Structure 1
Amino acid sequence: MSLAEEIRACQVREGELALFWLGQAGFLLVDSLGQQLAIDPYLTNCGERIRGFKRISPMMLSPEAFHPDYYITTHTHFDHFDYDAIPVIARNGKTIFLGPESCQQEMDKLDIAHDHRRKLCVGDTVTFPGITITACRADHGTMAPDAIGLLVEMGGHRLYFSGDTAFHADLCKEVAAFGPEVAALSINGAFGNMTAWEGAEAANLVGASIAIPCHFWTFTEHGGAPWVFSEFLKKIGDCEPVCMRQGEMLLLAREA
């Protein structure tokens, strides 16, 4: 069964939330209403076309087969803002695209309809039925000055997606006030991102129960050490490290 078929067949009960890792920093959330929220999916080889970054991981999902209700891009780097996938996905006429001002400007260039877009900058909160999304701080330096992280409430669960960011203890403390159950953290340690050790420290500081490392092994230029993240996190806190394979689903269930 292909990943697209698995997503279509996904049955989620009330109080549950399905989380798929799409590779790199890409995730898909599916709730009991069948709503799909995509975050930073990198589905094509546009990085090689734009910057010469050859993809060494498999493409899990074709843009033509991907029809999320909501699609968030945290900043304009090609592995988060997929320049080749977004116009294809937009043709379905239902997906709502969200992202900061820089992403909105790139969507203008791609002729993404304004009535299918929502601006999402640091401090903004957007709500949909059963879903609340808040943009929080991320420090990706001058490479992406308006990059955001995400605090997501969906299906009765709270999740933090760091996006691309350097480590800052004060940022982690701000996220901790949200009370995330799950933290998905970029840990490749290059291009302004946290190292594996910093990612583990961030997971511990935000107080998540589950920490998922991401943003590694898609390009040789990125590197990444998820096993180091996992082993270090086990030593410093009670948070459970969960390393997912690309395309894998993690089912979150509400405690009785």
Structure 2
Amino acid sequence: MLLSLSLLAALLGAAPTPPSQEFRVTWLGHAGFEVVSPGGTRLLIDPWLKENPRAPEAWKDLARLARTPPAAILLTHSHGDHAQDVHTLARLSGAPVVGTGETLRWLKVPEAQQHTVNVGGSTRIGDVTVHAVPAMHSCEPDGRPLGYVLVLPGGRSLYHTGDTWLFGDMALVQELLHPDIILLNVGGGRYGMDPRTAALAVRKYFRPSVIVPMHFGTFEPLATEPQAREVLGSDPRVHWLTPGIAASL
């Protein structure tokens, strides 16, 4: 008879092996990510792929990608460099799309797949609780931008900032949800936090163990990778991901 590891450990008087609390994170270029929980819940966040110059070629075939539907697609806001492929992915995959109602309706996401949230709300997807938090940015034609904090049953959490400027309520995101991993917008230019401002946001408001820079080096006038590394490269918590290569964080 085969014994489970936890039962064998109990019989031997040893503490059982704790369940994994790692997220598997694949950067898709720009602000796009695939995040997989320890329980196998697969989420796509801001999957702008077809015209994203940093997206891996293997991810640009939306029909192929949709054959293995994610548990949900999370959308921070309606700008094209985040939302352009969401309608097509939703139609092909049948996956629910999480975002504000105004944004999902404007993008013509099929009504049955609209999984609407708003600031302060949360929803359970598989073994992940998704919390919608504010982002300081714009959205078209109405609605508002969001960030998301994904929380595992054991309490570990991952924060996708979306496109944002630093703002005082980041302190409440830390107090309530204490993100351990931050997918951090650092691109700056005319569109959001530059690397120095992003580094200040982390110093001022957060205490993560892992920081993943994103939303840089895609097109002008965003910060280039060397510019981002010049500011953030000395922080040992910073992980520079390669688009298409999964990392356990």
Does the TM-score normalized on the shorter chain lie above 0.5?
Answer: yes
What RMSD, in angstroms, separates the aligned Cα atoms of the two structures? 2.2
Residue of structure 2 in register with 1:161 after alignment? 160
Amino acid at match of 1:167: L
Q: Work out the CA distance in 2 between the residues paired with 1:153 and 1:17.
A: 10
Give the 3-state SS of the residue equivalent to 2:107 in structure 1: helix
Q: Which of residues 36, 42, 55 is equivalent to 1:36? A: 42
3-state SS in 2 of match to 1:23: coil
Q: CA offset at residue 59 of structure 1?
A: 3.9
Equivalent in the alignment of 2:23: 17
| Number of the residue aligned with 2:14 | none
Q: Deviations over 1:8-43 (max 9, x none)?
A: xxxxx7433211111101111112332211111111
- What is the match of residue 91 of structure 1? 92
Aligned to 1:8: none
Structure 2 counterpart of 1:9: none
- 8 Å Cα contact 2:75-2:83 kept in structure 1: yes
Q: Report what 2:82 is aligned to.
A: 80
Show CA shifts across 1:107-138 (max 9, x none).
32xxx322212112111111123111111111
Structure 1 residue 79, shift from structure 2 partner? 1.1
Q: How does 1:87-236 map to 2 (within 5 A)?
A: 87-93=88-94, 95-108=95-108, 112-141=109-138, 146-154=144-152, 156=154, 157-168=156-167, 170-177=168-175, 178-204=177-203, 205-224=205-224, 225-231=227-233, 234=235
Return the structure number with greater strand share. Answer: 1
- The 3-state SS of whatever aligns with 2:163 is coil
Percentage identity across aligned positions? 23
> Deviation at 1:189?
0.9
| Cα pair distance change 1:115/1:187, threshold 3 Å | same
Paired residues in the alignment total 220
Matched, 1:69 2:67: no
Give the Cα separation in 1 of the matches to 2:32 and 2:22: 20
Structure 1 stretches of 4+ with a deviation exceeding 4 A read: 141-145
Q: Does the CA contact (< 8 Å) of 2:71 and 2:126 recur in 1?
A: no
What 5-or-longer segments of structure 1 have no aligned partner? 1-12, 46-54
Residue 154 of structure 1, CA deviation? 3.2
Write the letter of the residue equivalent to 2:200: E
Q: Does the 8 A contact of 1:63 with 1:85 survive in 2?
A: no
Contact 1:64-1:89 at 8 Å conserved across structures: no
Tell me the SS of whatever aligns to 2:93: coil
Opposite residue 77 of structure 2, the aligned amino acid is H
> Do the aligned partners of residues 142 and 246 (structure 1) sit closer, same or farther apart at CA in structure 2, a change above 3 Å counting?
closer
Unpaired segments of 5 or more residues in structure 2?
A: 1-18
Q: Name whichever of 150-159 and 188-197 sits farther off.
A: 150-159
Classify the secondary structure of the residue corresponding to 2:112: helix
Equivalent residues in 2 for 1:229-248 (5 A)?
Answer: 229-231=231-233, 234=235, 240-248=237-245
Q: Offset of 1:102 from its aligned partner?
A: 3.4
Report the structure number with the largest CA radius of gyration. 2
Q: 1:243 to 1:39 in 2, by over 3 A?
A: same
Distance 1:155 1:44, change over 3 A: farther
Judge conservation of contact 1:149–1:161 (CA < 8 Å) in 2: yes
Partners of 1:127 and 1:166 in 2: CA distance: 27
Alpha-carbon displacement from aligned partner over 1:59-87 (angstroms, at most 9, x marks no partner)? 440212322111011100011112x4532
Q: Does the 8 Å CA contact 1:226/1:243 hold for their aligned counterparts?
A: no
- In structure 2, give the amino acid aligned to 1:125: S
Q: Distance in 2 between matches of 1:37 and 1:56?
A: 22
- Asked if the contact 1:160–1:184 (Cα under 8 Å) also holds between the matched residues in 2, the reply is yes
